[in-house]
């Protein structure tokens, strides 16, 4: 970090645009994590709680400092929860694998995550 960055660290309500056409609103600060400077964005959720997300510099397209009201308006249009249950695949059991295998006519094993199940 340069001396000017250390003397005047970034901290502002902002609209942050990320690669992938993602726009988030929240309170942005710079924070060192894993030996790298990262953007810490505290995003207000619908319940009033702040949800913290970290982004590397390469993911950031732009940061626009703004008023708190504007950042909260942008945040209200986005669900800041990083993972939703419906995004995850349903858990599989060995019986599920056996049922899937019986439905298939080929002799290929059924892949379940890191292991391969075969009859």
3-state secondary structure of 14: strand
How many angstroms separate the first and last alpha carbons of the chain? 58
Mean pLDDT of the region 82-103:
61
Q: Where are the domains of the chain?
A: 3-82, 89-119
Q: Decide the pairing of beta strands 11-18 and 60-65.
A: antiparallel
Question: What average pLDDT does this structure show over 111-118?
Answer: 50
The whole-number pLDDT of residue 62 equals 95
The alpha carbon dihedral of 1, 25, 41, 55 has a sign of negative
* DSSP structure string for 24-42: EEEEEEEEEETTEEEEEEE
Q: What is the reported pTM?
A: 0.61
Architecture of the domain whose range is 3-82:
Roll (2.30)
């Amino acid at each position: 970090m340069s001396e000017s960055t250390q003397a005047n660290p970034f901290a502002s309500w902002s609209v942050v645009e990320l690669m992938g056409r993602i726009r988030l609103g929240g309170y942005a600060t710079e924070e060192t994590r894993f030996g790298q400077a990262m953007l810490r964005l505290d995003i207000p959720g619908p319940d009033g709680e702040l949800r913290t997300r970290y982004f590397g510099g390469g993911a950031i397209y732009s940061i626009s400092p703004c008023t708190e009201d504007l950042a909260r308006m942008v945040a209200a249009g986005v669900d800041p929860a990083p993972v939703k249950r419906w995004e995850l695949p349903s858990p599989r059991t060995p019986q599920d694998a056996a049922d899937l295998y019986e439905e298939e006519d080929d002799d290929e094993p059924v892949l379940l995550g890191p292991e391969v199940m075969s009859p």
